[in-house]
Amino acid sequence: MRTRASGRTVGGLRSLSLQAPAVTLLLIWMAVPLGMTVWFSLQRYNLMMPGMEQFAGLENYHYLLTDPALWRAMANTLILVASVLAISVVGGTLLAVLYQQEFFGRGIARVLAISPFFIMPTVSALIWQNMMMHPVNGVLAWLLGLFGLPAIDWFSSYPLLSIIIIVAWQWLPFALLILLTAIQSLDDDQVEAARMDGAGPLAIFWHITLPHLKRAIGVVVMIQMIFLLTVFAEIFVTTSGGPGLATTNLAYLIYLRALLEFDVGGASAGGVIAIVLANIVAIFLVRMVAKNLAS
């Protein structure tokens, strides 16, 4: 018994010694930036006033939490995330079912469908701004002109909707890729048995295909929500957060505080608030995905 216990102890210590460098590096990689962000959030620190730094306590947090711009940015962030997720999940599911069917040129169609995901966000925003949504030379203006309708200045009249369309166009292929991979593992015999029992396409989709995709949808929602909370390039290139605060999300508000107003303390406080929000979302998503995996 002593030999076994000592062997387990030595083996456990050996495994811990092997894991210690990686765990230590990971903790340093995470803890140092987080600690510096929290520290700066407690300082009155503006880059335009060097040498005037002083401890401010919770003053930066009080200023942010009482600033209407923060709540407008958080509302825009939630609207953007929820809208893009809805478009991605619904559209990705329907497209996955469509591209699973046999038709001529399916391979080429699949490649074209997922290609927007591999375009850089900055390039994607420029394409939509100058080629698709331009009120004079854009494709959408040309299509509206075919029906005798006036052109729309999208980024002035519908700024947040324009950002949602651009971001959804980029992330819809990701959802399609994950869901198409998942639907390919669906048992064809089960679908064929349902057809022989008289089930129609809608019944098969609702009772067989959709339950089969439940776990994949949970993964799509979790991954996309984490990235959608930090959307920045599309806003920076097209609207710069405007008009006013119409398209300013939490990430862009932090950018405004840090690099335009040079308020490092206020920007760091915004970063801490963003971290708290991201962790709340992550806890919710992890529980949701774990529940789907367990079912």
* pLDDT 10s digits, 70-92: 999 999 999 999 999 999 999 99
17 and 118 housed in the same domain: no
33 and 166 housed in the same domain: no
Is 47 a member of any domain? no
CB hemisphere CA count around 203 (13 angstroms): 11
* 171-192 average pLDDT score: 88
Q: Quote the domain boundaries for residue 36.
A: 1-41
35 and 176 housed in the same domain: no
Is 52 a member of any domain? no
* 191-218 average pLDDT score: 84
10 and 62 housed in the same domain: no
260 and 165 housed in the same domain: yes
Q: Measure the CA–CA gap between 100 and 81, rounded to whole angstroms.
A: 27
Indicate the number of domains in the chain: 2
pTM for this one?
Answer: 0.87
Q: Quick check: 69 pLDDT over 80? A: yes
168 pLDDT band, cuts 50/70/90, is very high
CATH number of the domain within which 210 lies: 1.10.3720.10
161 and 276 housed in the same domain: yes
Cis ω for the linkage preceding 243 (within 30 of 0): yes
* 38-49 average pLDDT score: 89
| Cβ-count burial 148-175 (b if 16+ within 10 Å, e if not) | eeebbbbbeeebbebbbbbbbbbbbbbb
Is 53 a member of any domain? no
Q: What is the pLDDT of residue 199?
A: 80
Is 50 a member of any domain? no
pLDDT averaged over every residue in the chain: 87
Is 51 a member of any domain? no
Rounding to the nearest 10 degrees, give the CA dihedral for residues 213, 219, 221, 223.
Answer: -150
1 pLDDT band, cuts 50/70/90, is very low
234 and 176 housed in the same domain: yes
151 secondary structure, DSSP code: P
Q: What is the pLDDT of residue 121?
A: 92
Percent of the chain, pLDDT > 70?
Answer: 93
Structure tokens, 241: 């957060």
* 251-266 average pLDDT score: 91
Is 238 a member of any domain? yes
Q: What is the pLDDT of residue 205?
A: 84
Q: Measure the CA–CA gap between 91 and 97, rounded to whole angstroms.
A: 10
62 and 201 housed in the same domain: yes
Q: What is the pLDDT of residue 231?
A: 94
**Widest Cα–Cα separation across the chain:** 89
277 and 142 housed in the same domain: yes
66 and 115 housed in the same domain: yes
180 and 271 housed in the same domain: yes
Is 132 a member of any domain? yes
Q: What is the pLDDT of residue 8?
A: 57
Percent of the chain, pLDDT > 90?
Answer: 46
248 pLDDT band, cuts 50/70/90, is very high
Is 226 a member of any domain? yes
30 and 71 housed in the same domain: no
Amino acid (one-letter) located at 221: V
Q: What is the pLDDT of residue 10?
A: 56
